[in-house]
């Protein structure tokens, strides 16, 4: 069974029987048929319909936000922002898809055109149950593709709500379906010749499995995987601004994001000042009922995730890290864990070496900027990074040395529909959003026409 549980209470919300093999077969066939017709519609018409998705999302923002709150524990204000971001991204591709996919002339005879690939299988996680799908789907639909969604099994109601949005926005029946299936049903879908490509957002471990399966079938993949984003604070930074941003960067979504800042690498000269400010701002975060608009820290999404995070804290402390705040699960119902700050973290500790998916911040002290960049890169991940300094020209040079898909100077790493998003190393490959994102699931075709 696929079971939905309220993370704030631990109580079961509902459960669903997985689709049978015959039901999946029917859905795939129908999606292929619908996509063949969809791709024939003018690009402008397809893109314009994304504005209807935005309208449905905004009209039902409160209901969908509260569904996110109840099913994965996101604080209400952040859940509302997630729905709005989906709407904004849909509108972005309404306005820009035609430009991103415009035919390009290269020579007098040759040019480049972009054709849709077909039906894309999207394997998506629970932490942003609407956003992770729509950031893929908005450009994919505009490009002429269809989609099937295998969502995380702890957010089945959000998965069905996503299908509701697309249907009620007037998209063709069967162009998109949510498939409530068990994990073992994914591999046959990936191998199915009717599936043109695969996109996955999830852990590095799951990404390796899906990549192997898709690779065996010679299918295009876009993988957005784990992260251990560094947040570099140099001696000339505005420390108060950096600390305030650091708290947001680490604890938004209760620390459960691939692009949360996780390792705070601070020059010794300002480390004490930064840590004091970081502690002060973190202490202002209210822990409690995620449905309360004043709450900043809700529960973690599942009990096993909380247990894994606590194990990382304990192993890091045993290896010499110092607990400055938090460090123990919150007693009572639900899967709450307080904002936890570890100081004097270094390579070899769990808080440095591993992805910490929850409200745990690791402070690493370094003598200079060169060491900061070296430690920033001493990770298997390469998703995002931030550099805080008053010398922007210097930051521009340092940013080119940081191994990441995105580097933000004096800002918090975030995705934006106008620019590409994705990682390197074990954070995955391929890009979402921007022009690059919409072209990922297109056939970039050379068209040569003789005289």
Strand bridging mode 229-233 / 360-366 = unpaired
In 10 A of CB 395, how many CB atoms?
Answer: 22
Q: What are the two backbone dihedrals, phi and then psi, of residue 148, each rounded to the nearest 5 degrees?
A: -125, 135
What is the spatial distance between Cα 77 and Cα 113, in angstroms, rounded to a whole number?
A: 41
Count of helix runs (H) and strand runs (E) in the chain: 15, 18
Strand order in the sheet with 406-409: 322-325, 340-343, 360-366, 261-267, 229-233, 384-388, 406-409
Crossing angle (nearest 10°) for helices 76-100 and 131-143: 20
Measured between alpha carbons, how far is 90 from 360 in angstroms, rounded to an integer? Answer: 33
Instruction: From the candidates 258, 354, 355, 440, give the one annotated as an active-site residue.
Output: 258
Q: Cα separation of 228 and 396, whole Å?
A: 21
Question: Are the C-beta atoms of residues 433 and 417 closer than 8 Å to each other?
Answer: yes
- Catalytic residue among 82, 224, 267, 355, which? 224
Q: Specify the 3-state DSSP secondary structure of 342.
A: strand
Tell me, yes or no, if 258 is annotated catalytic. Answer: yes
- What is the secondary structure of 118-154 as a DSSP string? -EEEEE--SSSTTHHHHHHHHHHHHHT-EEEEE--TT
Write the DSSP assignment of 401-434 as a string of letters.
Answer: HS-SSEEEESS-----TTS-B--SGGGEES-BSH
Instruction: Classify residue 7 by its DSSP letter.
Output: T
Question: Could you tell me which of 408, 379, 451, 442 has the C-alpha nearest to residue 116?
Answer: 442
Q: Are 309 and 331 in contact (CB under 8 A)?
A: no
Catalytic annotation present for 442: no
Q: Are 234 and 224 in contact (CB under 8 A)?
A: no
Number of Cβ within a 10 Å radius of residue 211? 19
Which pair of structure tokens corresponds to residue 126? Answer: 């629970």
Name the residue among 341, 310, 335 with its Cα closest to residue 323: 341
Burial class of residue 436 in the structure, from the number of CB atoms within 10 Å of its CB (0-12 exposed, 13-18 middle, 19+ buried): middle
Q: How far is CA 49 from CA 17, 44, 119, 166, 171, in A?
A: 32, 9, 18, 10, 7
Three-class secondary structure of residue 267 per DSSP: strand
Would you please indicate which residues are annotated as catalytic (active-site) residues? 224, 258
């Amino acid at each position: 069974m696929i079971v939905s549980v309220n993370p704030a209470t631990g109580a079961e919300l509902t459960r669903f029987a997985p689709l049978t093999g015959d039901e999946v077969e029917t859905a795939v066939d129908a999606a292929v048929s619908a996509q063949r017709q969809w791709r024939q519609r003018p690009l402008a018409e397809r893109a314009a319909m994304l504005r209807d998705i935005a309208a449905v999302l905004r009209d039902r923002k409160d209901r969908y936000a509260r569904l996110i709150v109840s099913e994965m524990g996101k604080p209400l204000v952040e859940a509302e922002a997630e729905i709005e971001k989906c709407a904004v991204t849909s509108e972005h591709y309404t306005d820009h898809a035609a430009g991103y996919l415009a035919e390009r002339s290269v020579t007098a005879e040759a040019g480049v055109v972009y054709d849709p690939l077909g039906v894309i299988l999207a394997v998506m996680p629970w932490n942003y149950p609407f956003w992770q799908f729509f950031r893929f789907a908005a450009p994919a639909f505009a490009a002429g593709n269809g989609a099937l969604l295998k969502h995380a099994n702890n957010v089945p109601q959000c998965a069905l709500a996503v299908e509701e949005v697309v249907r009620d926005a007037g998209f063709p029946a069967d162009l998109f379906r949510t498939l409530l299936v068990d994990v073992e049903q994914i591999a046959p879908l990936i191998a199915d010749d009717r599936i043109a490509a695969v996109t996955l957002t999830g852990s590095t471990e799951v990404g390796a499995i899906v990549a192997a399966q898709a690779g065996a079938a010679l299918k295009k993949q876009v993988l957005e995987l784990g992260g251990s984003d560094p947040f570099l604070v140099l001696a000339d930074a505005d420390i108060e601004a950096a600390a305030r941003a650091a708290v947001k960067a680490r604890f938004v979504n209760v620390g459960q994001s691939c692009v949360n800042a996780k390792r705070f690498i601070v020059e010794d000269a300002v480390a004490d000042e930064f840590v004091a400010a970081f502690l002060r701002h973190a202490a202002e975060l209210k822990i409690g009922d995620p449905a309360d608009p004043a709450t900043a820290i809700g529960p973690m999404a599942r009990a096993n995730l909380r247990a894994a995070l606590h194990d990382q804290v304990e192993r890091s402390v045993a290896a010499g890290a110092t607990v400055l705040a938090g460090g123990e699960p919150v007693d009572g119902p639900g899967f709450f864990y307080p904002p936890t700050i570890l100081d004097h973290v270094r390579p070899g500790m769990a808080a440095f070496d591993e992805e910490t998916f929850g409200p745990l911040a690791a402070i690493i002290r370094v003598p200079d900027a060169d060491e900061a960049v070296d430690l920033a890169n001493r990770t298997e991940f390469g998703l995002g990074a931030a550099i805080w300094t008053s010398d922007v020209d210097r930051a521009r040079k340092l940013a080119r040395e940081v191994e990441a898909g995105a580097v933000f100077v004096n800002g918090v790493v975030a995705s934006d529909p106008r620019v590409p998003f994705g990682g390197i190393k074990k954070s995955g490959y391929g890009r979402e959003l921007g022009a690059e994102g919409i072209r990922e699931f297109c056939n970039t075709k050379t068209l040569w026409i003789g005289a």
